[in-house]
Each structure stands twice: as structure tokens, then as C-alpha cells.
Amino acid sequence: MYDHFETPEPDEAVKLALRRIEESTARGEGSDVAGLEFNEVVVNMGPQHPSTHGVLRLVVTLDGELVKDVIPVIGYLHRCKEKIAERRTYFQYIPILDRTEYVAGINCEWAYVLAVEKLAGIRPTRRAEFIRVITAELMRIASHLVAVGTFTADLSPLGTAMVFYMFRDREDVLDLMEELTGARMMFNYFRFGGVRYDLPDGWVEKCRDFVRTFPAKIREYEALVDDNAIFLQRTQGKGVITQQDVVDYGITGPNARASGIPLDLRRTRPYSVYPELDFDVCVEHHGDVFDRYRVRIREMRESLKIIEQCLDMLPRGPVQVGSLRAPYVITPPPGSCYVGQENPRGEFGTYIESDGSRYPYRLKYRDPCFCNLQLFPKLLSGNKIADAVAISGSIDLVLGGIDR
């Protein structure tokens, strides 16, 4: 019979943590608080833990309250997406992309559709390009709301107010998306050469309403936390990502921009109609938790600017090349290509190899959170355990993308 009080055998990650403690003790770097036989404690944080925003598991070695070592363990949400691609046609695979990074599904769809279009030589219609930009920027706002909201909720009771406001306002974005695509989060909206539906009647006006009312809400968020002494103390100077870290570990997105690097694929490797649009790349210079929060807040404003311009410039015309039936079966010529795209969290890209059949021969994701998470051991070591929670919140991980 199963013994409920049996101590389970430690797995590989815990064994590694214990081994590292032994090694550091042998080197004489162990903790030396007088009177204690052992000081380092291995704490298992997650996979079911509210502050990990998913099923991230961290095996943390603590010395008192200080974090000495972190071993991230991932894969609890692995859904074999790269394997599934072997048995799905290019067209059948689109909905799976929404489930990768479910907070900003439409941006992931875009990365995949861009890669297939490049491989097959399809050019989307101009109206579809603008609709794509509008939806992607709407989802960027929704995603940043989730990121900042849950992050502030980790910090203090004050943040719990923030998370409610932000989820309330995110619902406005999701309502717009639901009216357009039929789903709140699992859109299945992009098609090769265009999008699935044209904008419904009255949608443009609703979207303009949103663009008009949302800046006041951003000011409200800023008033709530920007000058708050507790918030500043817990965020400024904590968890600094240096520019060298960005270069070494391939950090992208708001996390890189908070360290003063103007890396934004919408500008540095322009795709779609972004070259025609006027917006700033938001850069901050300290690379700490506070700057990562600031970059996300400022990017929401830039996204609103982009949406407004797109609504003004929105051309008439079809939203799909050819007949609606045409792109259902496509057979790109043999070859491979990689296309990266600026997701709310960084560079999300797909590498596709085609052997000329209806199925992708090999599909590989480049996920921004996977690369950002790799910095964790370096970033968290030396901080207090409470700050470790704040720092991991500010990196903004989505486990659906990491585990694929």
C-alpha cells in the first residue's frame, strides 16, 4: 500500500543541489554561523506555487534568508508541440500556436504564419497586414497587463488592488478580440496570406473608444504604484540584468530594453507594416526590476499609438489572398527558414524545415521565456528569498511557451 508519509527519493535536480552544497562546503565556502551544524537548506519551490505563474519549479538552496543557488526544473507543461507538427498539415497546426504562449496567443500565431509565408512565398494582403498589427498590439497590451498585474500582486497587498484593476481592463481587450475572432484567448485567426474574418461592423469605433479611454487607466496604474515607497524599495536596484548578461544569454524583449539595449525586432528587423508606423522603442537604463516594470507600462502607450495609426490608415480590400479555400493545403518547396517576431516577452521565432510535403518536416520554437529563464541562477543568487519572488515576477515567464 502507498505510504503517505514515505519520503520520496530525491530527483536529479535535488541531487544536483545537494551535490553543489557538498562541493561548496569542501571548498570552504559554506555558511559558518556559529553553533549550527548545517545552514544550507534545499527548498523546493513549485511546481504548484502561486508566485511562479504556472508550473515552474525552482530548487532553491537557501543560506538563512539568502538565496545561494537556484536550479530551475521545467517540462511540467510539455505538450510535445514539436512532435505534433510532424503529423499536422501546415494549416492544421495554426491553432496549436495559440496554446504555446497563451497570454499572447495571436503574436505566436503570427510568428508561425510569417515563417510559413516566407517559405512558401505568400504575401498577405495589405488590409490583412494592418489587422494583424492591430490585433498583435492589442494582445501586447493585454499581455503586459497580466505581466505587471501578477508581478505587483507578488510584491505587496497594494499589488492585489492593481491586479484586479489590470485584469478588469484586460477584459476590455479580450472582448474586442472575442468579437473579432470568436474566442477570448484561443483565437485561430491568422491564415496564410491574410486573416480569417474581416472586421465586424462597428468594431473600429469600439477599438477607437478603447484607445481613447485606456491612457487614463494607465495614469491610474502609475498613480497607484510609481511613487509608492514600499514598491520603490522592493524594486529599485534589485535583480539587475547587465548588458553583458543580455549578450551572453540572448535575453530579448522588455527585459533587454530595460537594460538600455534598443533591441526591438519591430525596428531592428522590420516585418509587416511596422516600418510605416511611428512609435518609439522604450528603453530604460538600470536593468533592475523597476525599469522592467516601467518599460512595460511605456510600451502599452506605444501600442496604443500604433493601434490608432493603423485604424487611421486601414485600407479597404480583401483580408485574404485568393479564394478562401486556397490556402488550406499548402506545400512549401523544400528548404528551411527561421523568422523571429517581437512577442510581448521577446523574440519568438519558428524554425521550419520543409521537405516539400504537406507536413512540416521539422518545426522548432525559439521561445523568449526559455532563454530568459536560463539567467535565473545567476540573477537570483545573492538575493533575499522574498526578492527572488519579485525578480522572477518581473522577468514575466509564461510556462506554456517554455515547456512547449
Partner 1 sequence: MPVTVGSNPRGMDALAALLAERFAGELTDVRVQEPDTVVVRCAPEKLKDAAARLKADPEVGYETLNWIAGVDQRTGIEAVYHVYSWKTNTWLQIHVDLSREQPEVDTVSDVWPAADWHEREAWDMVGIRFLGHPDLRRILLRDDFVGHPLRKDYVDLAENHPHV
Q: Is the CB of 50 or the CB of 333 nearer to partner 1?
A: 333
State the minimum distance, in angstroms, from the CB of residue 392 to partner 1. 16
Closest to partner 1 by CB, 198 or 355: 355
Host H or E run for residue 70: strand 66-73
Measured from the CB atom, the residue of 127 and 404 that comes closer to partner 1 is 404
Nearer of residues 233 and 268 to partner 1, judged by Cβ: 268
Instruction: Measure CA 296 to chain center.
Output: 12
Residue 371 in 3-state DSSP? helix
The Cβ of residue 77 has, within 10 Å, a number of other Cβ atoms equal to 17
Select 134 or 369, whichever has its Cβ closest to partner 1.
369
Rounded least distance, CB 77 to partner 1, Å: 9
* CB 261 to partner 1: min, Å: 5
Could you tell me the smallest distance in angstroms from the CB atom of residue 78 to partner 1?
Answer: 5
User: Which one, 9 or 227, has the nearer CB to partner 1?
Assistant: 9
For 2, 167, 243, 342, 394, the CA distances from 137, given in Å and listed in that order, are 51, 17, 27, 10, 20
CB of 327 to partner 1, least distance (A): 22
CB of 27 to partner 1, least distance (A): 17
d(C-alpha 312, C-alpha 299), whole Å: 20
Q: Looking up cell 479564394, which residue turns up?
A: 323
Nearest CA-CA partner of 173 in 271, 110, 273, 106: 106
Q: Which residues bind partner 1 (CB under 8 A)?
A: 11-12, 16, 74-75, 78, 80, 82-83, 243, 246-250, 260-263, 268-269, 337-338, 340, 347, 349, 351, 353, 361-362, 364, 366, 370-371, 374, 403-404
In what helix (H) or strand (E) does residue 351 lie, and over which residues does it extend? strand 346-354
**Helical segments of 269-384, H only:** 289-313, 368-373, 376-380
